[in-house]
Structure 1
Amino acid sequence: MNTQAKAPSNPAIHAPALATFTRYVGASVIGLLALTGAAIVDGVMVGKWLGADALAAVNLLIPLWILLFGLVLMLAIGGSVVASRYLGAGHNTAASKVFCGSLTIAGVGGAVLAAVIGALHLPIMTLLAVPESLQTMIKPYLLIVLAGLAPQYIAVVLYYFLRVAGQPQRASRALVIGALVNIILDVVLLGWLHWDIRAAALATLVAQLTQCALLVGTFKRAPMPLRWAPTGLTPRRLAQFCANGVSEFVNEVSAGLILLVIHWLLSRQYGVAGVAGFALIHYALLLNIMLACAIAEVVHVLVSQNRGAGQWRRAKIFFRFGMSLAVATGALLWGLSHWSSAALSHWFFRGGNAAVYAQDFWPVIAPVFLFTGANLVLSAWFTGLQQPGRSAFIALSRSLALPLVFLWILYFWQTAHSFLWALPLAEAATLAMALLLKAQQSSAWRLNTTPK
């Protein structure tokens, strides 16, 4: 497919550090928000034009989408980290084999998962705690979006490998165009033509197909060190790739499980209006996660390539850039949540119980913004060094283990909404442990490099 014989100089290891970081982060933020923006766009449009019940219905499926996205993210990030190290060391053929194997598994795996979930959609909706009154509404939405799962999986893998191959801006451009298609179709079908919830699913499907087609075209045309090199991928090699991306999988799957638990608790205490009210908070958290992930993914790409090139000092510089930007971004979102949450809640829901619940939830959840970015960048540092154990520990702590512990403890507290404090407490405790791991690693490096 890609026949270019000579690849350009690799900016990740040769270009000025600050300019390189800025270029990669800009493309990563735009691309990742575009890649996962369909959930936010659909939710906002559905909530605005179809009401709280439809919004609750869409959000009850989010744990499933998080699980499915986590699977391909584990493969794409794990494989791209390995390929990135090969590229940094100049082994382009080996990197191309990793790319080809990852892309093939993504396409086949996405098609198989879509077929299985489509066949088992009724028990899956029951598992997601979807009320019977909403199942009729959700079913067509679910089946339409599943039709785009395989193209979405292919697009995710292409996006991550194009980034490590030195084409982050072209990859992001393809995703942005797909996201714009999603927004335009949502506005036309929901806002102007007043279609039902199936319109949001159709907009998502068309956006996924558009992104996949544009990314395939980018790979064919753009000059890069990767090429199409069909090769068999053994289960052992697949496991190695996935091990490098296991922290991202843990982050995604754990977030889905915690969201499912929160939906269950909210439904018990406040009904469908509580679930709808938390949906607005969840979209803000999703935006925060996407910005933090965009920064973290740049860190692990640049750290892994410079590690492969033996440039440890440069790798540490990129880590510091990532931490500084993540902390600053989190502080900005925290401030915005305090200044605009009340007005946003009432504008979105136009009154009603859902607006009241959303306004009450904001102050409890807002501290999450202060810690998430730093945790994800620390996890990405260990991912870039191919230390999946430490990276997964951070991911598991912040997104599953500690939230479950705090949810269990705080659910029996008598204060209103007290169980929601589990999320900021888990992030804060994880940050303390992650900083300790980083300090231990730095101390070990100093001991190993000190002259005897």
Structure 2
Amino acid sequence: MQKDKRQPELADIFRRYGENYRQSHYLSTEQLKTMHRTEVIKNAANGFSEFANELSVGVVILLFNWVIMQKLGENGLAAFTIINYSIFFALMVCYAISESTQPIISKNYGALNGKRIYSFLKTASCTVIIIGISMSIIMFFFSEKLVETFLEKGDEKVADLAVMYARYVWPVFLFSGLNIVFSSYLTAMQKPIPSAVIALSRSLILPILLLLILPIFFGDIGIFMAIPLAEVVALAIAIFLVKRNSPNKLVSDG
């Protein structure tokens, strides 16, 4: 009994037809929407504050490491690194909250719904405040236990410096979250310049200026005071800019 050779040939034909259809459908450029150059530039400018945050972290940390090595040596740098782990943990949580609310705020801005924008902004702000208070309590009252998780026995000098740093740096958690949320809010509301002012103030300009100025008046302690004070000043700027660009005002102008 002879086998029908047409069956595999027909199967191969249908297989090839299916592959060609998928390629022509999914890889076709006919349905792609092209963005105009001005739109690309506008969107890139609106996201400049996030770019500034990412860029300035490396610059500021490098400068702090250099100053601490000059003033306090390896022990001071190790203590700075330990506390920074806690700072970055809290910052990442705040960034997650701000970035999750950003598309919701932006969508409601397009819908001209100022009340919902204010509600989301209030929720995000209250959340980061709670996180900040919790981290501040841990940093101020339980700094010894926190430092012990990173160090072995016998590193008393590093531990003492880390605890001292924690006692000066804890206000960071109270203010940094709000600065992040306010900057993200302004980005969502298509206000790149005020957003960039907050981002650059808190993450680059103020920390560097205060790092250079405060040690002149307060000695080595001024190094540890630079970041908290930068967040405080940046928050004052952020509150002023958010009030000038409140949800109801921007919605009515839009």
The answer, yes or no, to whether TM exceeds 0.5 is yes
8 Å CA contact 2:60, 2:207 repeated in 1: yes
Pair 295,444 (structure 1): closer, same or farther in 2 beyond 3 Å: closer
**How far has the Cα of 1:442 moved from its partner?**
3.5
2:42 to 240, 248, 259: 240
Separation (CA, whole Å) in 2 of partners of 1:263 and 1:423 = 13
Separation (CA, whole Å) in 1 of partners of 2:161 and 2:246 = 45
Q: Deviation digits for residues 326-363 of structure 1, max 9, x if unmatched?
A: 11111111011112211221332123232232122111
8 Å CA contact 1:406, 1:422 repeated in 2: yes
Q: Which residue of 2 aligns with 1:382?
A: 186
**How far has the Cα of 1:272 moved from its partner?**
2.3
Separation (CA, whole Å) in 1 of partners of 2:35 and 2:112 = 27
- Please tell me the residue identity of whatever aligns with 1:361: Y
The answer on 1:305 being equivalent to 2:107 is yes
Separation (CA, whole Å) in 2 of partners of 1:259 and 1:340 = 25
**How far has the Cα of 1:416 moved from its partner?**
3.4
The answer on 1:325 being equivalent to 2:127 is yes
Separation (CA, whole Å) in 2 of partners of 1:312 and 1:277 = 45
**How far has the Cα of 1:304 moved from its partner?**
0.4
Q: Which residue of 2 aligns with 1:257?
A: 59
Flag the structure with larger Rg. 2
8 Å CA contact 1:413, 1:419 repeated in 2: no
**How far has the Cα of 1:232 moved from its partner?**
5.8
1:290 to 92, 103, 113: 92
1:417 to 202, 217, 221: 221
- Please tell me the residue identity of whatever aligns with 2:203: S
Pair 234,272 (structure 1): closer, same or farther in 2 beyond 3 Å: farther
Pair 277,240 (structure 1): closer, same or farther in 2 beyond 3 Å: same
1:275 to 73, 77, 100: 77
Separation (CA, whole Å) in 2 of partners of 1:384 and 1:443 = 11
Corresponding residue SS for 2:190: coil
Separation (CA, whole Å) in 2 of partners of 1:237 and 1:443 = 23
**How far has the Cα of 1:443 moved from its partner?**
9.8
Q: Which residue of 2 aligns with 1:441?
A: 245
**How far has the Cα of 1:411 moved from its partner?**
2.2
8 Å CA contact 1:280, 1:345 repeated in 2: yes
**Structure 2 unaligned spans of 5+:** 1-30
**How far has the Cα of 1:321 moved from its partner?**
0.7
8 Å CA contact 1:367, 1:424 repeated in 2: yes
Q: Which runs of 4+ in 1 moved over 3 A?
A: 229-238
Corresponding residue SS for 1:321: helix
Pair 268,235 (structure 1): closer, same or farther in 2 beyond 3 Å: farther
Pair 443,301 (structure 1): closer, same or farther in 2 beyond 3 Å: closer
Q: Which residue of 2 aligns with 1:391?
A: 195
Moved more, 352-361 or 257-266: 352-361
Separation (CA, whole Å) in 1 of partners of 2:32 and 2:212 = 49
| TM-score (norm. length: structure 1) | 0.46
8 Å CA contact 1:331, 1:369 repeated in 2: yes
Separation (CA, whole Å) in 2 of partners of 1:416 and 1:354 = 15
Separation (CA, whole Å) in 2 of partners of 1:262 and 1:410 = 13
Q: Which residue of 2 aligns with 1:365?
A: 169
Pair 282,443 (structure 1): closer, same or farther in 2 beyond 3 Å: closer
Corresponding residue SS for 1:386: coil
**How far has the Cα of 1:293 moved from its partner?**
0.7
Aligned positions, number: 221
- Please tell me the residue identity of whatever aligns with 2:97: I
Q: Which residue of 1 aligns with 2:18?
A: none
**How far has the Cα of 1:248 moved from its partner?**
1.1
Q: Which residue of 1 aligns with 2:234?
A: 430
Q: Deviation digits for residues 110-141 of structure 1, max 9, x if unmatched?
A: xxxxxxxxxxxxxxxxxxxxxxxxxxxxxxxx
Separation (CA, whole Å) in 2 of partners of 1:297 and 1:422 = 26
- Please tell me the residue identity of whatever aligns with 1:357: L
**Structure 1 unaligned spans of 5+:** 1-228
Separation (CA, whole Å) in 1 of partners of 2:35 and 2:248 = 35
| TM-score (norm. length: structure 2) | 0.79
Q: Deviation digits for residues 45-84 of structure 1, max 9, x if unmatched?
A: xxxxxxxxxxxxxxxxxxxxxxxxxxxxxxxxxxxxxxxx
Separation (CA, whole Å) in 1 of partners of 2:61 and 2:94 = 19
- Please tell me the residue identity of whatever aligns with 2:165: F
8 Å CA contact 2:124, 2:181 repeated in 1: yes
- Please tell me the residue identity of whatever aligns with 1:439: K
